[in-house]
Chains A and B, each alone.
Chain A
Amino acid sequence: MIVRLMNEGQYRIDDDLLQQLNELDERATAAAEADDEQTLDDALDEMFSLVKSRGDALADDELTSSDILIPPSDLTLEETKELLTDEGFIPDLPAPT
């Protein structure tokens, strides 16, 4: 599995780690829906540090798309929610000229 820590880079992770991430992701999702920013940020921080310590960073010249993306914890609650809508908090890619 390839996971991208948004604004940090991509990592290759094993199934054990994925399982742990899924548990944290559930906690994060529930927190986002309950507007509990502190719990959300803590869960995201934990996910980031787990991936950084146990995943293998992809080389800069590897062109692989990620299976999952983890948002950074320094977004505001509103930004995180917006990120997950169809519009997305991610700006549009450069438009065709």
Chain B
Amino acid sequence: MPGLMNRASTVVKAKISKLLDRAEDPGETLDYSYEKQLELLQNVKRGVADVVTAKKRLELQTTQLEQSVVKLDSQARSALQAGREDLAREALQRKTVVQQQLQGLDQQVQGLQAQQEKLIASEKQLSARIEAFRSQKEVIKAQYSAADAQVKIGEAATGIGEQMADTGLAIQRAKDKTEQMQARAAAVDELVAAGTLEDFTSGGETDLDRQLAQVAAGTQVDSELEKMKAELGAGDPQKELER
């Protein structure tokens, strides 16, 4: 029974020979193959750009969620000071939800980072090999008889074809991963929009904000009333009595 290593090689070689069969004469095979390499290199560059964009979006969401953790924490504190344990509890519960989201996001950003690094390394290898192929192609065209050229072309094209197949795999995987991330980022956005998490980050007032503001206002009114009563009482108690 053939192992994984050999089966994988067989599949890749089959793909490459299918690709090479499409061109007929040796010179054409070289030029055709070179064109395809450049196309693939463009795909890789686009793939890297997509990964970077997806990562930036997740990083932005991370920052927003981090800010809301801080805000919810201080809201919980003020609520507790005001004797509103129910509000404090609610703020802390929301903080937990946001923190769970954050944990997931961190892992995803790391995943994308790894993908990006692999893709960049792959792009570098492919560029170098394309360059080597380009110079070999000119040598082969100029120096070899048709029969020898055929053999040389087979070697060079298979070597680079394998790199193309491998890079193609790297791009596809990066693309899958990026799509998953985008779906996830969109889901977080939707959660925020639907009010399940509420948009703690937009600066807009939430219900919790309003209740806390009421508590704070209530406390302030009470203390000002006390102060006024004290002032009036201490300032001129007689006046009050005389009337």
Q: Which residues of A contact B (CB under 8 A)?
A: 3-4, 6-9, 21-22, 25-26, 28-29, 32, 44, 59-71, 80, 83-86, 88-94, 96
B3 and A26: CB pair below 8 A? yes
Q: Which residues of B contact A (CB under 8 A)?
A: 1, 3-9, 11-16, 19, 22, 32, 36, 39-40, 43, 118, 121-122, 124-125, 128-129, 131-133, 136, 155-156, 158-162, 164-166, 168-173
What separation, in Å, do the CA atoms of A85 and B16 have in the docked complex?
15
Give the nearest-CB partner of B20 in chain A: A93
A91 and B159: CB pair below 8 A? no
Beyond contacts A6-B169, A22-B3, A90-B168: 7 other A-B pairs, Cβ-Cβ < 8 A, are: A4-B166, A25-B4, A44-B4, A65-B162, A71-B8, A85-B11, A96-B22
B5 and A68: CB pair below 8 A? yes
Contact of B16 among A22, A32, A61, A93 (CB under 8 A): A93
What separation, in Å, do the CA atoms of A93 and B157 have in the docked complex?
13
* Closest CB in chain A relative to B116 CB, distance in Å: 13
- Which residues does chain B contribute within 8 Å of A60, judged by CB atoms? 124-125, 128-129
9 A-B residue pairs with Cβ-Cβ distance under 8 Å, sorted by A, are: A9-B121, A9-B125, A29-B3, A29-B4, A63-B136, A63-B155, A65-B159, A69-B8, A90-B168
What separation, in Å, do the CA atoms of A62 and B163 have in the docked complex?
11
What separation, in Å, do the CA atoms of A52 and B52 have in the docked complex?
28
Contact of B9 among A67, A80, A91 (CB under 8 A): A67
Task: Assess A61 versus B158: contact at CB under 8 Å? Given A70-B4, A91-B168.
Answer: no
Contact of B7 among A9, A84, A94 (CB under 8 A): A84
A93 and B8: CB pair below 8 A? no
Chain B CB within 10 A, most for which of A29, A61, A63, A68: A63
Give the nearest-CB partner of B33 in chain A: A93
What separation, in Å, do the CA atoms of A95 and B15 have in the docked complex?
11
What separation, in Å, do the CA atoms of A62 and B155 have in the docked complex?
11
What separation, in Å, do the CA atoms of A88 and B158 have in the docked complex?
17
What separation, in Å, do the CA atoms of A91 and B36 have in the docked complex?
14
* Closest CB in chain A relative to B122 CB, distance in Å: 7
Chain B CB within 10 A, most for which of A8, A29, A62, A90: A90
